[in-house]
């Protein structure tokens, strides 16, 4: 099956719209049209309910875990798990079936990193918590921490392949956090 068995399922897992599906099932709403409009776990918790929100987060983490696991299982190319991480997050954040709407990629990235590099996951979670406390805004803190992914990869692995794919993954997460950065600059300072 080769490398196609690794990258294609990663992208297809990414485009599985957990928040959209659970919004429809539990409350009959289009998650894109309520709350922040974000197709992710936190908006689902706030607008649909705790159970569907937790299920959404679990599915999104699971997408990342499964994408990297399959990439490692079906490909001998050491870069494929990194590429799978990028593709699962890309599919999640910019879903072609939802007019390129999607989540912010944090839960999916966390899932991928738990398999790919648990130490990177732990380091980025610590930075996210620190930034959230310093900035008093969890959304901005999480986006800022994600931007550090290529630096953490370089520190841990000293390999340009890790850095480049880490930068690509961080970029698609940071792009989705631009509204958070803008609203923070306008004075929103709350832990949400």
- Under the banding of pLDDT at 50, 70 and 90, the label for residue 187 is low
Half-sphere exposure of 40 (CA within 13 A, CB side): 22
Strand (E) or helix (H) holding 136: none
Q: Is residue 97 situated within a structural domain?
A: yes
Structural domain harbouring 119: 4-185
Q: Is residue 191 situated within a structural domain?
A: no
Q: Is residue 79 situated within a structural domain?
A: yes
- Under the banding of pLDDT at 50, 70 and 90, the label for residue 5 is low
- Under the banding of pLDDT at 50, 70 and 90, the label for residue 122 is very high
Check pLDDT > 50 for residue 191: no
Q: Is residue 190 situated within a structural domain?
A: no
Pairwise CA distance, residues 79 & 81, whole Å: 6
Long-range contacts of 128-134 (CB under 8 A, 24+ apart): 132/191
Domain count for the chain: 1
Q: Is residue 72 situated within a structural domain?
A: yes
Pairwise CA distance, residues 158 & 21, whole Å: 40
Pairwise CA distance, residues 7 & 11, whole Å: 6
Phi, psi (rounded to 5 degrees) for 35: 60, -130
């Amino acid at each position: 099956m080769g490398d196609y068995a690794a990258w294609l399922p990663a992208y297809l897992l990414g485009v599985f719209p957990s928040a959209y599906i659970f919004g429809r099932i539990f409350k009959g709403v289009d998650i894109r049209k309520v709350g922040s409009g974000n197709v992710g776990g936190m908006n689902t918790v706030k607008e649909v309910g705790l159970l569907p929100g937790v299920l959404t987060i679990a599915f999104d983490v699971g997408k990342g875990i499964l994408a990297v696991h399959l990439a490692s299982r079906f490909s001998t190319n050491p870069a494929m798990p990194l590429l799978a991480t990028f593709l699962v997050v890309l599919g999640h954040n910019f879903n072609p079936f939802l007019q390129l709407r999607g989540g912010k990629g944090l839960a999916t990235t966390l899932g991928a990193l738990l398999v790919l590099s648990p130490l990177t996951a732990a380091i980025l979670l610590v930075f996210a918590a620190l930034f959230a406390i310093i900035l008093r805004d969890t959304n901005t803190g999480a986006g800022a921490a994600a931007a550090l992914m290529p630096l953490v990869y370089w520190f841990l692995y000293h390999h340009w392949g890790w850095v480049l794919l880490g930068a690509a993954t961080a970029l698609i997460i940071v792009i989705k956090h631009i509204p958070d950065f803008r609203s923070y600059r306008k004075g929103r300072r709350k832990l949400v």
